[in-house]
Every structure is written in structure tokens, then in C-alpha cells.
Amino acid sequence: MAEPSTGEPADLTPASDRSPERTPALRTEFAFALPRGYLDDDGVLHRVGTMRLATARDELLPLYDARVQENPAFTTVVLLSRVITELGTLPSVTSQVVESMFASDVAFLQDLYRRINAEGHTHAAVVCPSCQQHFTVDISGGRLGES
């Protein structure tokens, strides 16, 4: 199966001929900062978290969930609760946590999920509206407060 294009030439060097120095490390976790934040039952606001790359299992298991079978829109909630590994000081991120998030935060997380899993990166090509300079930015929220 072909790899999705990232705009960079594919490395066609056989795996056995690659040195560890030439093979980039696979990034599997991505830090983020929610636009609004999740407010828990104790009034604590949780904004900073980590999302990991999804596996095939992550995408298949929600299909067997009774909540998803009743309402396919619930797929997003179940899927995000599986791939968000950290959110503030919460011990775990459950589907109930995702359900209780503000809609803008869920939309942000859906977009992050799509970018890191479907596109394989979190970079976007942008153009400065003032000078028309073309450049690339990392939109994964790599630093606190950025998205």
C-alpha cells in the first residue's frame, strides 16, 4: 500500500541499508492546548493534553459500541476518548469527559485527530496576507496556548 504524500520525496532505500542516524524517529504523541478547556465537576479547568496516533483497533472498536450503533455521531466521542492519553490532571479521559467538553474543543480535537492520522503531519502551508511570503507552520499546538 502506498504511503500518503507529504510533499517530500519517499525514501526508497531498503530498510536493511538504512542507518539509525538516517531514519527519523516516528512521532506518535502530539501535545495540544484546548481553545476553551474541559471544566470538571470540581470546577478545575483542564486545557493541556496529549493525543496519540490512532491504531486500526481504535477505529474499529467504536463500531461495536452500542452507543455508536444507536447514534453513529457518537463515534467521535468514543474514538477521541481512546486516543487522548492525557488531559490536565485527569486520571483518564473517558467518553463522559469528551461528551462534557465544549463543542469548540471537540471540533479542535477532531481536526487535530484528522491532521495527525490522515495527513501524517501537523504542518500547514500558509501565506502572509501582508507580504505574500509562503511558509509552513506547525499547527499541532506544540507550545502551551498555541493551536
Q: Is residue 8 part of a domain?
A: no
The whole-number pLDDT of residue 65 equals: 87
Q: Three cell numbers at 140?
A: 499541532
The whole-number pLDDT of residue 144 equals: 37
The whole-number pLDDT of residue 19 equals: 60
Output 5-11 pairs: Cβ under 8 A, ≥24 positions apart.
6/119, 6/120, 6/121
The whole-number pLDDT of residue 18 equals: 56
The whole-number pLDDT of residue 17 equals: 58
Domain that holds residue 64: 26-120
Residue length, the chain?
A: 147
The whole-number pLDDT of residue 99 equals: 95
The whole-number pLDDT of residue 39 equals: 96
Q: Is residue 140 part of a domain?
A: no
Residue 76 three-state SS = helix
Question: What's the predicted TM-score (pTM) here?
Answer: 0.66
Residue ranges in the chain whose pLDDT is less than 70: 1-24, 119-125, 135-147
What total number of domains does the chain contain?
1
Q: Is residue 145 part of a domain?
A: no
